[in-house]
């Protein structure tokens, strides 16, 4: 297993540690940090950040941590810790913003948890930095270029988000991708000046 860079390691440890801690604490305490819709009466100003450290179950946590390890580790090594933290923050906050707008539009009162928005931002970043890198996804287990993998996942998220209520925050995932795209475009534009 390759060395985990410091920010990726800290984020993963925080997610796993909080998951374990909330197993021992009352479930109502976790809801204090989840991202509640603005119209729910439970929204608090820190939730657009804290929700990303919480996870609904072991599989949710496992797949998000696997993605962070697979994509985040390499991106942190390429960008360095400071720029990588900026990308994580942009993806987390843009995912939260997109989810808040979506829940307001559909009138949902359910909270959102998970680092998936950050993970989708990292996924898009990986596809933009290494578009021709061949990766082997778990589903489907077919080797493909990163740029195609990202495009397929983005399209699937949009289709699943538009198809109805599944209990998965598809628009948060898309929001994470949008935040990552905008930040990379900003970085590339400021480099040209």
- Positions marked active-site: 116, 173
Query: In whole angstroms, what is the distance from residue 49 CA to residue 128 CA?
Result: 25
Cα separation of 74 and 30, whole Å? 31
Token digits for 72? 């985040």
85 neighbors 8 (Cβ within 8 angstroms): no
Buried b (16+ CB within 10 A) or exposed e, 115-144: bbbbbbbbbbbbbbebeeeebeeeeeeeeb
Backbone angles phi, psi at 166, to 5 degrees: -115, -5
């Amino acid at each position: 297993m390759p060395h985990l860079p410091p920010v990726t390691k800290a984020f993963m440890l925080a997610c796993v540690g909080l998951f374990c801690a909330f197993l021992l604490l009352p479930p109502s305490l976790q809801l204090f940090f989840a991202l509640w819709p603005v119209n729910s009466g439970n929204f608090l100003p820190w939730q657009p950040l804290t929700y990303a450290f919480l996870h609904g179950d072991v599989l949710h946590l496992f797949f998000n941590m696997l993605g962070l390890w697979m994509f985040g580790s390499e991106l942190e090594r390429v960008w360095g810790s400071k720029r990588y933290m900026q990308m994580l923050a942009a993806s987390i906050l843009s995912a939260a913003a997109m989810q808040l707008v979506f829940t307001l539009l559909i009138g949902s009162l359910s909270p959102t948890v998970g680092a998936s928005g950050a993970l989708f931002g990292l996924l898009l970043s990986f596809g933009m930095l290494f578009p021709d890198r061949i990766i082997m996804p778990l589903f489907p287990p077919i080797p493909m270029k990163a740029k195609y993998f990202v495009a397929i996942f983005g399209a699937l998220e949009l289709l699943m988000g538009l198809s109805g209520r599944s209990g998965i925050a598809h628009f948060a995932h898309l929001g994470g991708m949008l935040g990552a795209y905008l930040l990379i475009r900003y970085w590339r534009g400021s480099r040209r000046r």
